[in-house]
Amino acid sequence: MGMTLTEKILARHAGLDHVEPGQIINAKVDLVLANELSAAVAIKVMRQIRGADRVFDASKIALVADHFVPAKDAQSASIAKLMKDFAGEQEIEHFFDVGRGGIEHVVLPEEGLVAPGELIVGGDSHTCTYGAFGAFATGMGSTDIAAAFVLGEVWLKVPASIKLVYSGTPGTMVYAKDVMLRTVGELGIDGATYRAMEYHGSTVDELPITGRITMANMAIECGAKNGIFHADEKTIAYVRERTNRDFIVEKADPDAAYERTIAIDVGQLEPQVACPHTPDNVHPISEVVRDDLRVDQVFIGSCTNGYIDDLRVVAGILQGKTIAPNLRVIVNPGSQKVWMQAADEGILSTLAAAGCAVNTPGCGACFGGHMGTLGDGERAISTTNRNYVGRMGSPKAEIYLASPATCAASALSGKITDPRTVEHLEWTPTRERAGSRGTTVSLIESN
């Protein structure tokens, strides 16, 4: 019997010829990730391990400050300092402080730290993002991360795999976020618990890298251990632009055994919205707009949708317009590099002119910790990945999840709005525009 993509990667990292679901293995890691919150606990645990004075390989650890950036108070500043001091002490090669990095899951691929066939663990549940590049990547608790710091290996139970096959061409204003919201809606928040979600089909083959990132990122919203795509020419080109190190591209065997196969036709899919208070409470936009839901905040960014493709879509909708009154629109580019590219293309000035606040890249608003929290009774529509009670602040607030296009359309009206009903332009960088507003088009090639 052949192996799935996840099984092939785990077998190689465990030094085994074959693995199967349910098997417990010890596997060597290629990269260990922590942010300032997970690092604080992991560092404390590592200090308690007898003889653990040094990390196993300073070049295979990445530390990213991204949850409280810039620090919001003395306590968060102390946590950030703890990680910074540890990075200096251990001579950690990949340390990304505020102003030099951004959101961990945006920064690591950007910096060439993720490649096909690798095994990556991180102290954050959305570490599964790197499955977009054909890697096995999963989140772990800080105690496990401490052990990985020291040993360079982890123990895992090999997950069974679910094969997801997508067909059809997304329609106007339907993006990878809509496809993945529909997937979460069909599977449920526990429908893939401790499973590998393996993405297949003509639809995902055509997605840009950022679209695949969005879908891999939200595998955890189905309870999955990891989400993973096969690396293709598009993947390899992206990675090769950022690193020269060797990597192995694995492929699932033709006779691999899957727990189940799910086929999803996206050809007739509308823009999707996840309604309170779970990511699987998903409805087509035509059903949601009937309730005429006014919003207090629109948030655009996060590790799910903080990429330059996303900001171009938003700028194409907002350019030359003004957001609705009595509304705040907060935009967090995913990384410093995304921020700089958006500035160079004139996106940031376009968003600011429309009335948006553009923040330092970071995770604060997404988890309700910093720079964008919600108050009692407030309603938000957001490009983030979770909408549980209290996720973005007050437990008395409501969060709706949607694509950047749906969020941008809602910013103009002040209520949840079908993006297909608003004018949208193909974004042209300011330096190339020469006074032209561009041509009205659909941006289905973006995320």
Q: For the chain, what percent of residues have pLDDT higher than 70?
A: 96
pLDDT of 366 strictly over 90: no
Which of 89-98, 137-146, 298-307, 360-369 has the weakest average pLDDT? 360-369
Asked if 12 contacts 116 with a C-beta cutoff of 8 angstroms, the reply is no
Please name which of 123, 113, 118 lies closest in space to residue 93, comparing C-alpha atoms: 113
Residue 172 tokens read as 């106007």
What pLDDT band is residue 433 in, cutting at 50, 70 and 90?
low
Mean pLDDT throughout 76-91?
95
pLDDT of residue 343: 95
pLDDT of residue 277: 95
pLDDT of 445 strictly over 80: no
Tens digit of each residue's pLDDT (9 = 90 or more) over 159-186: 999 999 999 999 999 999 999 999 999 9
Mean pLDDT throughout 145-162?
97
Asked if 28 contacts 113 with a C-beta cutoff of 8 angstroms, the reply is no
* Strands in 272-408 per DSSP E: 272-274, 282-284, 297-301, 328-332, 357-358, 379-382, 398-401
pLDDT of residue 371: 85
- CA–CA gap between residue 11 and residue 296 (Å, rounded): 49
- CA–CA gap between residue 186 and residue 168 (Å, rounded): 17
pLDDT of 40 strictly over 80: yes
What pLDDT band is residue 291 in, cutting at 50, 70 and 90?
confident
pLDDT of residue 368: 85
Task: Output the CA angle 82-88-91, nearest 5 degrees.
Answer: 135
Mean pLDDT throughout 60-82?
94
Tens digit of each residue's pLDDT (9 = 90 or more) over 387-413: 999 999 999 999 999 999 999 999 999
pLDDT of residue 431: 63
What pLDDT band is residue 424 in, cutting at 50, 70 and 90?
confident
Mean pLDDT throughout 422-429?
84
pLDDT of 360 strictly over 50: yes
**DSSP 8-state assignment for residue 392:** T
pLDDT of 337 strictly over 50: yes
Residue of higher predicted confidence among 370 and 230: 230
Asked if 173 contacts 420 with a C-beta cutoff of 8 angstroms, the reply is yes
Which domains does the chain show, CATH number per domain? 5-264 (3.30.499.10), 274-433 (3.30.499.10)
